[in-house]
Homo-oligomer: A and B are copies of this chain.
Amino acid sequence: MATAFGFELLKLDGRARRGRLVTPHGEIDTPAFMPVGTRAALKGLSPLQVRGTGTQVVLANTYHLLLRPGAEVVAHFGGVQRFMNWHGPVLTDSGGFQVFSLADLRRLDDDGVVFRSHIDGAKVTLTPEISIAVQNQLGADIIMCFDECPSLVGASGNAGKWECGNEPTDAGSAPHLPTIPPSHLPTIVDAVRRTVAWAKRCKAAHARQDQALYGIVQGGLDVGLRRTCLDQLVEIGFDGYALGGLSVGEPPAAMREFLDAFAHELPADRPRYLMGVGTPADLIHAVSAGIDQFDCVLPTRNGRKGYAFTSRGVLRMKNAHHRLSDEPLDAACGCETCRGFSRGYLRHLFMNEEVLGATLVSLHNVAFYQDLMRRLREAIATGRLETLKAELLAGPIAGRRDEETE
């Protein structure tokens, strides 16, 4: 019998939490960052390289694995961890986010969604029951309820239109919570109603005791709506609680203000997961607000594009001024890339489209994120989080939109 799922809260520092998740495939120190291995692979990184970054848990996308190779194939190989040769815990999302952001949505109703695959146009149905059955087959240590994720941008009330994405499209500061366009409110209310109804069906459908199931709180930036959603989810009862529908187009400051107002209301004895977030500054804010888990494509996606996160701000590797630079990406970093490769060499790789460049900068970026999380965890353990937060946010890490700093 596999180890049961558990969450231990080790230390509080303000609202920030130092904790530990126990899963069948290993322990996870929280707050934890989970890099994204979309199709059961981090793009360009071997599991050994991922492990070398300090990563303890990775995320895989149910939507992608459902389409190819199929959940039954992954199950045949003994589950997603064994399939991808990752000797640690994995979390799968429900597939909903990609259905709404990638697929050609054909029907959304209370039963679920019907969409056309972005690969071959095949018609696929996803319901709470199907999402859980698929995730049971994939066999991740932590699985997610199937929810509805509405967009927070645009004035359209069209329920068939979503603009979800992992990167904010506008990073300008917004000093106060923006009013959700009135035409949006019915969409969000409807998404909350559906998300709760689907969560109940997910819980009922969940067939594996060795997988933790998290509920997802929706409700846009409206604390009242979020509270309503959360109360109903808690009544159903989940192993952890996630905030969905954030970092989907709203200004980052609005998300941060919302987290300060609401994250601490999530049950204290369960892990709290902020989905699809975010930049280093986002993580610092959210940890301070009491969040325990994060996932985001930024370190790998930006790494592939030649953008390196560093303690001195973001570097664009193709910039000509790196040509003769013998410096590592980040003198403060001990990753494999920083131990052996110069900025000049990495620039050379990107200028020549050598795929090793994407691998080395992605590896560094994930290590940078993990090192940030380690510093945050240590600061919480010693009661110094607010000091570290102030120090970090006053520095280049909190640059406006990182990719634009060079």
Q: Are B340 and A69 in contact (CB under 8 A)?
A: no
A46 and B341 CA atoms in complex are apart in Å by 10
**A12 an interface residue at 8 Å Cβ cutoff?**
no
A85 and B346 CA atoms in complex are apart in Å by 11
A73-B358 contact given A39-B352, A41-B349, A352-B68, CB 8 Å threshold: no
- For residues 342 through 368 of chain A, which have their beta carbon under 8 Å from a beta carbon of chain B? 342, 344-345, 347-349, 351-352, 354-356, 358-360
- For residues 47 through 76 of chain A, which have their beta carbon under 8 Å from a beta carbon of chain B? 47-49, 64, 68-69, 73, 76
Q: Are A44 and B77 in contact (CB under 8 A)?
A: no
Residues on B with beta carbons closer than 8 Å to the beta carbon of A344: 69, 73, 76-77, 83
A44 and B354 CA atoms in complex are apart in Å by 7
**A163 an interface residue at 8 Å Cβ cutoff?**
no
Closest approach, in angstroms, between the C-beta of A343 and any C-beta of chain B?
11
Neighbour of A345 across the interface among B83, B349, B354, CB < 8 A = B83
Residues on B with beta carbons closer than 8 Å to the beta carbon of A46: 49, 336, 356, 359-360
**A223 an interface residue at 8 Å Cβ cutoff?**
no
Oligomeric state, in copies: 2
Q: Are B39 and A69 in contact (CB under 8 A)?
A: no
Of A47, A68, A69, A84, which is in contact with the most chain B CB atoms at under 10 Å from its CB? A69
Residues on B with beta carbons closer than 8 Å to the beta carbon of A340: 47, 85
Closest approach, in angstroms, between the C-beta of A45 and any C-beta of chain B?
7
Q: Are B69 and A348 in contact (CB under 8 A)?
A: yes
**A326 an interface residue at 8 Å Cβ cutoff?**
yes
Q: Are A354 and B41 in contact (CB under 8 A)?
A: yes
A360 and B49 CA atoms in complex are apart in Å by 12
Q: Are B324 and A76 in contact (CB under 8 A)?
A: yes
A40-B348 contact given A47-B340, A324-B73, CB 8 Å threshold: yes
Q: Are B355 and A358 in contact (CB under 8 A)?
A: yes
Residues on B with beta carbons closer than 8 Å to the beta carbon of A84: 345
A359 and B342 CA atoms in complex are apart in Å by 22
What residue in chain B is nearest A354 (Cβ atoms)?
A: B41
Residues on B with beta carbons closer than 8 Å to the beta carbon of A355: 43-44, 355, 358-359
Q: Are B360 and A69 in contact (CB under 8 A)?
A: no
**A323 an interface residue at 8 Å Cβ cutoff?**
yes
A48 and B48 CA atoms in complex are apart in Å by 11
A48-B336 contact given A41-B349, A43-B356, A354-B43, CB 8 Å threshold: yes
A73 and B336 CA atoms in complex are apart in Å by 23
Residues on B with beta carbons closer than 8 Å to the beta carbon of A68: 348, 351-352
Q: Are B69 and A356 in contact (CB under 8 A)?
A: no
Of A68, A336, A348, which is in contact with the most chain B CB atoms at under 10 Å from its CB? A348
- For residues 306 through 337 of chain A, which have their beta carbon under 8 Å from a beta carbon of chain B? 323-324, 326, 336
Neighbour of A77 across the interface among B345, B356, B359, B360, CB < 8 A = B345
A43 and B45 CA atoms in complex are apart in Å by 14
A47 and B336 CA atoms in complex are apart in Å by 10
What residue in chain B is nearest A44 (Cβ atoms)?
A: B355
Q: Are B352 and A77 in contact (CB under 8 A)?
A: no
A354-B39 contact given A324-B76, A326-B77, A341-B85, CB 8 Å threshold: yes
- Contact pattern, A 132-156, Cβ under 8 Å of B = 1, otherwise 0: 0000000000000000000000000
Known: A46-B356, A73-B323. 4 other contacts (CB 8 A): A39-B349, A43-B356, A46-B49, A84-B345
Identify the A interface with B (CB < 8 A).
39-49, 64, 68-69, 73, 76-77, 83-85, 323-324, 326, 336, 340-342, 344-345, 347-349, 351-352, 354-356, 358-360
22 A-B pairs within 8 Å (CB atoms) are namely: A39-B349, A39-B352, A41-B349, A43-B354, A44-B44, A44-B355, A44-B359, A46-B336, A47-B340, A64-B352, A68-B351, A69-B323, A69-B348, A73-B324, A73-B348, A77-B326, A77-B342, A77-B345, A83-B345, A83-B348, A85-B345, A355-B359
